[in-house]
Amino acid sequence: MADFFSKDLSGGAENNDSNLLKHLSSCNEIKICRSHKLTTKLIDAYDVVIVSNFVNVSPAGLKYIQDNKPYIIYEHDHKYVKGRDPSVYPNFNIPEEDKINVEFYEGAHCVVVLSKICKEILEKNIPGTNVHSIGCSLWSKETFEHIRSLAETTKTEPICILRSDNPIKNYSKALEYCRDKNIEPVELKEPIYKIFLSKMASCEKFLFIPGVLETYSRVCAEAKMMNLKLLTTPMKLGFASEEIFSLSGLALIEKMEERNEEAYKKFVQLIDEADSKKKNSITAILTCYRRPEYLQEQINALRAQTNPPEQIWLWVNHHEENKHLDFEDLDIDRVIRNDHNWKFHGRFALAQLAQTNFIGLFDDDTIPAAKWFENCLDCYSTKPGIYGGIGVILGEERYYGHKRVGWSAPNNEITEVDLVGHAWFLNKKDLQYMWREEPFTWHNGEDIQLSYLCQKYGNIKTYVPPHPLDKPEMFSSTKGVMYGIDNKATSRPSNHAVFYNQRDEQVKSHIQNGWVPIFQRSEHDID
């Protein structure tokens, strides 16, 4: 996505984008989109978005990209600052009030910049941004060959300048300089790129006085590759911040070719990373009812995951004990407060609004170990299904008398079970099956309903990932026994008669309606 492409105009950004697109199209399905024609439908159709210049994109459009797709910003100027020139501020320290699009830069999988100085400025002013400098502009192999053929061209003209209608290129100032020196410059404005380079190659010097900090200045690099002496303002030249700036001619061409190859490889790597990140993206959903004291510990545990969630949401069921709580200081992306106690099913309904591929849900007494999500993702890649922290294997047409697997009864391998609870991990698309039938009861059994309907309508099995005793970092819950046995538990002993009777009746009903638990299956039907 870009404001313009090379068919629209021949600028540095457009030429860079053109060469990148040519390279990427050889190994990816590429769709170009002009920023003013961007739609949510177009964004949704692709896995990764590369954002070039985006001045014509609405704030809502940027927000939609940020919330829904992994994206890479290919930064050609400075769209994080008003006026698009950080050089007007002492030491490039941009005041907060002059920074723009900050969240969009912070949310990018990576911001690719062209030079060392641009990386330093962006990291200084938006420290939460992942920045990579490729240290070059991008050229095609054909262009490098042409430049190489011009490198030893006889210099017949004293000086050339860039004739541009863009005021930041300072054409008038360069022309004034030449007239003051009584020099008639060659004015470079040839629309045919090869002829433009040939005219430049015939000159001894190239005069360029940028009006803003150039992120690189490919035209200055081209001049030096063709052995022109460069007259410029180095402090406003991204190219000048690179160590290769001291080179010229064939030596510079060779270094530029190397950097171009590295840059193309880096873009492919970043796209693969962003795509993989999206495929493994997780929204974690926590529940608050009567145990808010564990929230911060849960959040810390989620942020510390080896595969951390993209977002953490909090579902708050109404209770007199929590109605005055303030959640603003928590490191949470979304808080959904209810004026009603939706009990157990509400959080699963909320999960359908997530934009990630996977959902992780947790009871309020569940503190996952650092590799819980990694454990689930690894298992899902070999055996897709619903995963959970404690699995139940039924022994008959009732819930009571079941066998448990998981953190309370550790297992060394992926184990198929009939249902799971305490923590759930599943592909978001599978949530649709949970609502194919009205719940047996809204007061209990969301875990039973999920596994029953996913099996019945989606042929989706339920598993518990490994919980080896010698690898506690893989566990779904580190403090289940400690936090889950208080008088706030739904399954507390005083409530056993009601709790287990409801679940017994639910299991029996689901089996009659098509659920096939493990004990009713033949051996070859079981993983």
Question: Within this chain, do residues 385 and 508 fall inside the same structural domain, yes or no?
Answer: yes
Q: What percent of the chain has pLDDT over 70?
A: 97
Sign of CA dihedral 50, 55, 60, 66: positive
Would residue 203 count as lying in a domain?
Answer: yes
Question: Within this chain, do residues 80 and 121 fall inside the same structural domain, yes or no?
Answer: yes
Confidence of residue 327 (pLDDT cuts 50, 70, 90): confident
Would residue 257 count as lying in a domain?
Answer: no
Give the CATH number, domain containing residue 171: 3.40.1010
Per the structure, the count of domains in the chain is 3
Task: Evaluate if residue 76 carries a pLDDT over 90.
Answer: yes
- State the Cα–Cα distance between residues 134 and 123, nearest whole angstrom: 15
Would residue 273 count as lying in a domain?
Answer: no
Query: Could you tell me if 376 and 425 are in contact, meaning their C-beta atoms sit under 8 angstroms apart?
Result: yes
Give the CATH number, domain containing residue 428: 3.90.550.10
Question: Within this chain, do residues 484 and 366 fall inside the same structural domain, yes or no?
Answer: yes
Q: What is the 3-state secondary structure (H, E, C) of 348-385?
A: HHHHCCCCCCEEEEECCCCCCCCCHHHHHHHHHHHCCC
- State the Cα–Cα distance between residues 393 and 418, nearest whole angstrom: 5
**What is the reported pTM?**
0.72
pLDDT at 451: 98
Confidence of residue 12 (pLDDT cuts 50, 70, 90): confident
- State the Cα–Cα distance between residues 184 and 170, nearest whole angstrom: 17
Query: Could you tell me if 169 and 133 are in contact, meaning their C-beta atoms sit under 8 angstroms apart?
Result: no
Sign of CA dihedral 493, 499, 501, 503: negative
Question: Within this chain, do residues 364 and 464 fall inside the same structural domain, yes or no?
Answer: yes
Q: Report which of residues 44 and 381 the model is more confident about.
A: 381
Pairing mode, strands 386-393 and 419-427 = antiparallel
Query: Could you tell me if 72 and 51 are in contact, meaning their C-beta atoms sit under 8 angstroms apart?
Result: yes
Q: What is the pLDDT of residues 417-470, one digit of tens each?
A: 999 999 999 999 999 999 999 999 998 999 999 999 999 999 999 999 999 999
Q: Would you call 7 exposed, middle or buried from its count of C-beta atoms within 10 A (0-12, 13-18, 19+)? A: exposed
Question: Within this chain, do residues 78 and 226 fall inside the same structural domain, yes or no?
Answer: no
H-assigned helices in 387-479? 446-458
pLDDT at 496: 63
Task: Evaluate if residue 410 carries a pLDDT over 80.
Answer: yes
Confidence of residue 26 (pLDDT cuts 50, 70, 90): confident
Q: Report which of residues 125 and 9 the model is more confident about.
A: 125
Mean pLDDT over 132-148 rounds to: 97
Question: Within this chain, do residues 122 and 66 fall inside the same structural domain, yes or no?
Answer: yes
User: What is the three-class DSSP state of 324?
Assistant: coil
pLDDT at 527: 61
User: What is the three-class DSSP state of 347?
Assistant: helix
Q: For residue 147, give the nearest of 204, 227, 74 by alpha carbon.
A: 227
Task: Evaluate if residue 524 carries a pLDDT over 60.
Answer: no
Question: Within this chain, do residues 410 and 460 fall inside the same structural domain, yes or no?
Answer: yes
